[in-house]
Amino acid sequence: MSSERFEDCDDDFKAAMGDIRTDLRVISKRTGEQKKSTIRKLERRAEDAERVLQEMESEAQIAPASFRMSMHSKVVKHRSDLEKAKRELRQASSAASSRDDLLAGGRTYGTQDPAVIEASQRNRLLKGSESLNRASESIARSKQVAAESETIGVETLEELVGQREQLLRAGATVKETDDQVSKAKRILISMGKRVVTDKLIMITIILLELGIIGGVVYWKFFSK
């Protein structure tokens, strides 16, 4: 049975993803500061879900080999769901930023300081770099989970091969034992027949001896 902590983290992750999906469905209907607030809340929830998922990965790594494969499969599925939600969040955040930039550009067209424009562009580049770094880290973790799953699969296969060999040896031992039992049964039957034969021979000899004794007695005492 998987660890209780893994199951608790699984419940926490599902709850967090439920909240994220709910907000993602309504984010397109919101505008302005309300949309920004929703995006920030979604980012925090995504970070919480990421921490929970990392804890699940740690629990899966120390779980017994017989349960590790199913636990890693669940982690991989959760990772895929989280990455999909993050992509939707990045798209919503990018759309909101682009809209704000267009509005700001319309308001300050021809009057905005080039240094301010450069700083805004730098901030967008930094945000893009951070998004790429997070995506790269997620891909690296997914590759690590895949490699660990492959290792677990190999270990499980080796265990199954070992168990198959044990079953084959046990089957051979049972067959050998059955052969020995059959042989012993034949020997006992043969011994039983020999005992019966010996008893019949002994009874025959006793009867012959009694007949001879009877004949001698008759001849000695009654024949005159």
Measured from the Cβ of residue 60, the count of other Cβ atoms closer than 10 Å reads 26
* Per-domain residue ranges of the chain: 4-174
C-alpha span between 61 and 2 (Å, rounded): 11
Q: What is the CATH number of domain 4-174?
A: 1.20.58.400
Measured from the Cβ of residue 35, the count of other Cβ atoms closer than 10 Å reads 20
pLDDT value at position 95?
67
Q: 101 pLDDT exceeds 50? A: no
Q: 170 pLDDT exceeds 70? A: yes
Tens-place pLDDT, residues 18-35:
988 888 888 777 777 888
Q: 65 pLDDT exceeds 70? A: yes
pLDDT value at position 184?
84
Minimal CA–CA distance to 129: which of 80, 79, 85, 90? 90
Q: 205 pLDDT exceeds 90? A: yes
Q: 114 pLDDT exceeds 80? A: no
pLDDT value at position 13?
92
Q: Where residue 217 falls among pLDDT bands split at 50, 70, 90? A: confident
Q: What is the dihedral of CA 112, 118, 121, 122, to 10 degrees?
A: -150
Q: 116 pLDDT exceeds 70? A: no
Minimal CA–CA distance to 9: which of 42, 50, 41, 56? 56
Q: Where residue 109 falls among pLDDT bands split at 50, 70, 90? A: very low
Q: Where residue 11 falls among pLDDT bands split at 50, 70, 90? A: very high
Q: At what angle do helices 32-61 and 114-221 cross, to 10 degrees?
A: 30
pLDDT value at position 34?
81
Q: Where residue 36 falls among pLDDT bands split at 50, 70, 90? A: confident
Q: Where residue 59 falls among pLDDT bands split at 50, 70, 90? A: confident
pLDDT value at position 104?
46
The residue whose two tokens read 């084959």 is 168
C-alpha span between 205 and 208 (Å, rounded): 5
Bigger pLDDT: 182 or 224? 182
Q: Where residue 122 falls among pLDDT bands split at 50, 70, 90? A: low
Phi/psi-derived region of residue 132, left when phi > 0, alpha when psi is between -120 and 50, beta in every other case: alpha
As a whole number, mean pLDDT of residues 37-51 equals 88
Q: 113 pLDDT exceeds 60? A: no
Measured from the Cβ of residue 40, the count of other Cβ atoms closer than 10 Å reads 11
As a whole number, mean pLDDT of residues 200-205 equals 92
pLDDT value at position 111?
47
